[in-house]
Amino acid sequence: MLFRSIGDGAADMSISLVISAIWALGAYLTKEGIRAEIAFHERQSARRPAIPRKFFAAALSGLGVAWATYYNDGHAVASLLYSVCAIGLHIAAFGIDPMKDKSIEGIDDFQQDRAQKAIAEAEQRLIEMSEAIRTLRDRNLSTRVHSFAETARDMFDRIAADPNDLSAGRKYLTVYLEGAKEATLRFCDLYLQSRDEKAKRDYIALLDDLEENFADRTQRLLENDKANLNVEIEVLRERLAEEAKKH
């Protein structure tokens, strides 16, 4: 549609450009819908996407096909049939958006909502850090920030799996990550102007300390869960032993 718009009159060119824009938006929504679905399935508890991106992408694909075919041959019925086929093929290829929330048994929805909100805010801080570092075009720094982000996300996964751990990890998701983001923004401003190697070494040392602390806290959360499980097993054994004595 873009190529055929070249050399046409203003009206035909405008129609071709609008159809191309509709398909481009549909492609973008498809990509974002797939990303949202992957994130949904990776977490043990998650809310369904607020915006059904793949649904809207399929609709836009059908709309673009309908308009393009009608624009070419002027047959309304054929355009409608092509549109239905395009929507069906899009759904067959990319599926539909998750339709139901995913919850963890034994944990109330309020606690899960709090954990998901805290994780989403923490994830946004990591994204802002990565975007700021990317402006420096320094592969070493980008790799270092990515490594720290992955360690932080290990904690996110731990809290998502057991929202009861939110209280123990909240300071890391809020205070520490907010401080890391602010330090990153200030470092980027300084490094863009001066390329100060000492500032770079200090910033990397900060990331090392943060990553070590995040990894340590995540391990403690895991050990605490194991300790709680051992206590539950011991209590269960005692109860079984008492029941055996009664009979």
Is residue 102 in some structural domain? no
pLDDT digits (tens, 9 = 90+) for 150-206: 999 888 888 887 777 777 788 888 888 899 999 999 999 998 888 888 989 999 999
* pLDDT of 230: 45
Q: Flag the least confident range among 60-74, 76-90, 107-121.
A: 107-121
Is residue 218 in some structural domain? yes
Q: Flag the least confident range among 8-17, 71-80, 116-125.
A: 8-17
Measure the CA–CA gap between 76 and 69, rounded to whole angstroms. Answer: 9
Measure the CA–CA gap between 123 and 39, rounded to whole angstroms. Answer: 12
SS3 state at 195? coil
Half-sphere exposure of 42 (CA within 13 A, CB side): 11
Question: Nearest to residue 152, comparing CAs of 185, 118, 190?
Answer: 118
Is residue 212 in some structural domain? yes
Is residue 103 in some structural domain? no
pLDDT at 94 over 50: yes
Measure the CA–CA gap between 240 and 176, rounded to whole angstroms. Answer: 45
Measure the CA–CA gap between 16 and 5, rounded to whole angstroms. Answer: 6
* Mean pLDDT along residues 93-120: 76
100, burial (CB in 10 Å: exposed 0-12, middle 13-18, buried 19+): exposed
* Mean pLDDT along residues 119-140: 91
Pair (80, 154) in one structural domain = no
* Mean pLDDT along residues 211-221: 86
148 near 133, Cβ under 8 Å?
no
45 near 159, Cβ under 8 Å?
no
How far, CA to CA in Å, does 56 sit from each of 33, 52, 62, 204?
9, 7, 10, 43
pLDDT at 89 over 90: yes
* pLDDT of 231: 42
Q: How many domains does the chain have?
A: 2
Is residue 101 in some structural domain? no
Pair (147, 55) in one structural domain = no
Is residue 223 in some structural domain? yes
Pair (125, 62) in one structural domain = no
**Would you report the helix, strand and coil content of the chain in percent, each value rounded to 5?**
85, 0, 15
Pair (120, 89) in one structural domain = no
Measure the CA–CA gap between 245 and 241, rounded to whole angstroms. Answer: 6
pLDDT digits (tens, 9 = 90+) for 13-40: 888 888 999 999 999 999 999 988 887 7
Is residue 217 in some structural domain? yes
Is residue 122 in some structural domain? yes
pLDDT at 100 over 90: no
Pair (174, 237) in one structural domain = yes
pLDDT range class, residue 41, cuts 50, 70, 90: confident
Pair (131, 242) in one structural domain = yes
Pair (78, 145) in one structural domain = no
More confident residue, 98 or 113: 98
Amino acid, single-letter form, for residue 162: D
Which helix (H) or strand (E) segment holds residue 214: the answer is helix 197-246
Question: Nearest to residue 125, comparing CAs of 71, 55, 173, 66?
Answer: 173
* pLDDT of 117: 86
* pLDDT of 32: 93
Pair (196, 226) in one structural domain = yes
26 near 87, Cβ under 8 Å?
no
Q: Which of 48, 67, 94 is the last residue of a domain?
A: 94
Pair (119, 87) in one structural domain = no
Pair (114, 85) in one structural domain = no
* Mean pLDDT along residues 65-94: 91
pLDDT at 120 over 80: yes
* pLDDT of 45: 62
* pLDDT of 50: 79
Pair (130, 181) in one structural domain = yes
**Mean pLDDT of the chain, nearest integer:** 82
First to last CA, the chain: 82
Give the domain extent around 26. Answer: 2-94
93: how many CB neighbours lie within 10 A of its CB?
11
Pair (136, 159) in one structural domain = yes
Cite the DSSP H helix spans in 95-196: 109-134, 139-161, 166-171, 177-194
Q: Which of 62, 94, 126 is the last residue of a domain?
A: 94
